[in-house]
């Protein structure tokens, strides 16, 4: 029987932190108190002009590959979860492959599931490896959400940041990824979307992120609780067996409500939303890498990852690190 395990982690945040007060100085009609009370966010990172999704992905991937103790040439599958790719095509995964100098990867492609993207991508990589078709996958969440924000809309622009996180997943004799589940319901698409596109060289519709915050909150808390229980049941474990919960870092209130619903104390929840804001598909691997490197997550720990995002999509992965 072939299983998969996470062999290494890495992350990257561009530039210096941009605080809430920095946003006020830029003319956004808000305040540090207003943002912190409603979201828990104190700062975020914003990619400079010319730095794109694949650039962030490259830095996080380089660190994950080093952490795994392998060479880029050992990677035979690259999956990049992103909603903000460099181009319409080629994929950011293909650009990342080139930047890493990998010439013979078995496959390289992007996954677009917004904030659930990393859970989707990790689930896909697990299945590829367990099938025996691939031996070692690079799974990345990378976003430059600052490029799709309306900086006049304080209800959304203060929430998001840029960054990337990556993991190397490899074939193993013992199970590392214990269970995963991914879902979608497109009927909820209006409550979180970017309702625009490019056609004939012009923007058609609205090119900025739009969100119904209250509707997203209610939906997110419900499905995050459900998918967490789904993967725990599949692995025949309980929340008491989970050392660490890493939810998508959208809003501190969502994290708190999800932890309460699962009867998991906040002391067992990895939280980075205060430092990074919502980095969409990058938020889970960013938090995972931070907790691995600071020593909180140890080998053998049970870690529950879960995300929910526009689409609407949601997913969870339970792993033994």
Instruction: Enumerate the active-site residues.
Output: 115, 248, 278
The encoded tokens of residue 243 equal: 């050392």
Residue 65 backbone dihedrals phi, psi, to 5 degrees: -65, -40
Q: Are 246 and 303 in contact (CB under 8 A)?
A: yes
Residue with tokens 């409500």: 257
In whole angstroms, give the CA distance from residue 36 to residue 18. 14
3-state SS record for 8-50:
EEEEECCCCCEEHHHHHHCCCCCCHHHHHHHHCCCEECCCCCC
Q: Are 145 and 84 in contact (CB under 8 A)?
A: yes
Cα torsion through 115, 121, 127, 131, rounded to 10:
170
Q: Are 122 and 175 in contact (CB under 8 A)?
A: no
């Amino acid at each position: 029987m072939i299983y998969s395990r996470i062999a290494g982690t890495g992350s990257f945040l561009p530039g210096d932190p941009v605080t809430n007060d920095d946003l006020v100085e830029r003319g956004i009609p808000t305040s540090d108190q207003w943002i912190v009370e409603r979201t828990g966010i104190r700062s975020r990172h914003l990619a400079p002009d010319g730095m794109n999704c694949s650039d962030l992905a490259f830095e996080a991937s380089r660190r994950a590959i080093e952490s795994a103790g392998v060479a880029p040439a050992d990677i035979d599958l690259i999956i990049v979860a992103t909603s903000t790719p460099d181009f319409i095509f080629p994929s950011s995964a293909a650009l990342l492959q080139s930047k890493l100098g990998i010439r013979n990867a078995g496959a390289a492609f992007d996954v677009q599931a917004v904030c659930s993207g990393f859970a989707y991508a990790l689930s896909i990589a697990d299945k590829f490896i367990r099938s025996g078709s691939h031996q070692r996958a690079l799974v990345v969440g990378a976003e430059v959400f600052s490029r799709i924000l309306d900086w006049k809309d304080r209800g959304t622009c203060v929430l998001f940041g840029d960054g990337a996180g990556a993991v190397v997943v490899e074939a193993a004799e013992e199970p590392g990824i214990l269970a995963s589940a991914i879902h979608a319901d497109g009927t909820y698409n209006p409550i979180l979307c970017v309702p625009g596109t490019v056609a004939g060289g012009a923007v058609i519709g609205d090119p900025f992120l739009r969100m119904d915050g209250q509707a997203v909150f209610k939906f997110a808390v419900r499905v995050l609780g459900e998918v967490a229980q789904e993967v725990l049941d599949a692995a025949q474990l309980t929340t008491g067996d989970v050392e660490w919960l890493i939810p998508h870092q959208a809003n501190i209130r969502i994290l708190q409500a999800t932890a309460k619903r699962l009867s998991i104390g906040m002391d067992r929840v990895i939280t980075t939303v205060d430092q990074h804001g919502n980095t969409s598909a990058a938020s889970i691997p960013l938090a995972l890498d931070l907790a691995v490197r600071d020593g909180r997550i140890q080998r053998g720990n049970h870690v529950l990852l879960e995300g929910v995002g526009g689409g609407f999509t949601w997913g969870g992965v339970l792993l033994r690190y």
